[in-house]
Amino acid sequence: MVSQNKKKIVIEATLDNLGKVNDFVEDFLKEKECSPKVRMQLEVVVEEIFTNIANYAYGDDVGQVTIEGSLEDDAAKFRLKFMDHGVPYNPLKQPEPDITTGADERTVGGLGIFLVKKSVDDISYQHEDGQNILTIVKVI
């Protein structure tokens, strides 16, 4: 944790740690004026991204994920960066799901990242130094 406006957590990428990740984000934002809608959107986003890393990044092994949070533009924007050394995977290259079909007819997969994209103001992916880096920005 570098400053009051930037914090970091390094944690094992297991579903058991989802609560700790949510606590990290909530603790980061507790002093900020966020609407319940923004908090709920961020909770869904964090859960989707962290769950995907925990379930798929390391196969049957357990690896770590580093999550950095920072406030920008006089705390108007919240930036979260998820970093893992798992299998290279860019979720932004997945095709958009067909949301016009019923749930029974829809192909499995893609809906989570679709919801993440719709819930944030910016999202980007990089693979750098053997690391997946997914960054989201939400105006709070």
Question: What is the DSSP secondary structure assignment for residue 81, as one 8-state letter?
Answer: E
How much is the pLDDT for 28? 78
Question: What is the DSSP secondary structure assignment for residue 91, as one 8-state letter?
Answer: G
CA 59 to chain centre: 19
Confidence class for position 2, pLDDT limits 50, 70, 90: very low
Mean pLDDT of 83-108: 74
Mean pLDDT of 111-116: 80
pTM for the predicted model, two decimal places: 0.86
CA-based max dimension of the chain = 48
Confidence class for position 29, pLDDT limits 50, 70, 90: confident
pLDDT above 90: percentage of residues in the chain: 61
Residue 106 clears pLDDT 50, i.e. is over it: no
**Calpha distance 58→72 (Å, rounded):** 31
**Calpha distance 138→129 (Å, rounded):** 26
Q: What is the pLDDT of residues 36-66, one digit of tens each?
A: 899 999 999 999 999 999 999 999 999 999 9
How much is the pLDDT for 16? 97
Q: Which domains does the chain have, with CATH numbers?
A: 6-139 (3.30.565.10)
How much is the pLDDT for 17? 98
How much is the pLDDT for 73? 77
Residue 134 clears pLDDT 60, i.e. is over it: yes
